[in-house]
Amino acid sequence: MKENVIIPFYLNEKVINSLYSVVIQKYVKIKSINKRKQCIVNLNTPLSNISPGHYLQGDLSVQVLDECSRERIDERVSMVIEIFMNIMDILQEKGVLKYINSREEISKIEKNDFIVFSSKISEFPTLSRINDIVSAMQYQEVLGLNKNENDKETTSSELLYSMKNYIEEYKKTKCVKYISDDIFGSSNRIILPLKMEYLQGDIDYLMNNEVSIFAKVINTYEDNYDKDFALKSGTCFDFMDSNSFSSLEKKVPLALNKNRMAKSEYIDNYDFIETIPIAIYM
């Protein structure tokens, strides 16, 4: 690896273990060590010494050979972090790993490439918008702002409870999609579906900080229809159009984030590279 000291925040353990097996099989010969132990004892004596009471002429030569041969396989047994670092070293040594360090190198990214790049990452636009709404609704509930003139709670509390439960369950059972910044000012953004169980800490560690990402490219999207499909979060909120969001946000004005880019703006301004994130580190 190019980095001497890293702090891993995300390690896709299943992919790392599977990839390691494939990389070892393809690029690294398992070391076989043969150890041979041989012991030879030579004994020379007159024949009369081994037959008492008899006179025999001549000498006796005895050779005892004790040979033990064993073969040991040098197996590579490591923890996930060590395995991950070994994979990086092997792929780099074999010229399979692409470090993305310029705008020109982004244009050369192809399907099935292994890439390493640095970027800030953020939630998918749909999820980001929903989380803003949930946070604003929770704020209103905490301060008692979600009550009407008759001092009765509106249905917003029920909606808040339902949305929160749905999002929490979604994060437990499915990959949560994140997206990179525009890399080196290019028109490309990289999609990163993360499985929360592989986080080495809190997801907040990855927000608003530039991190290094090791991933495998599985697809590229340039057509608007394909890009719209790529930006689906995999939640029921994908069925909400801009009017649905606007209607919901009117009930919770605090949720409006003027700096947030809408999904349609992503589609109009960027192409996408979808990946399987293997590791994220600093």
The answer on pLDDT for 106 being more than 60 is yes
- Between 243 and 40, whose confidence is greater? 243
Neighbouring C-alpha atoms within 13 Å toward the C-beta of 153: 12
- Between 243 and 112, whose confidence is greater? 112
CA–CA dist 175, 170 (Å, integer): 8
The answer on pLDDT for 109 being more than 80 is yes
Give the pairing of strands 271-281 and 188-194: parallel
Predicted TM-score (pTM) of this structure: 0.73
CA–CA dist 190, 220 (Å, integer): 9
Question: Residue 237 — very low, low, confident or very high, per pLDDT cuts 50/70/90?
Answer: confident
Local structure of residue 175 (DSSP, 8 states) = P
**The pLDDT value given to residue 211:** 93
- Between 219 and 81, whose confidence is greater? 219
Residue 165 and residue 158 in contact, taking contact as beta carbons nearer than 8 Å: no
**The pLDDT value given to residue 39:** 60
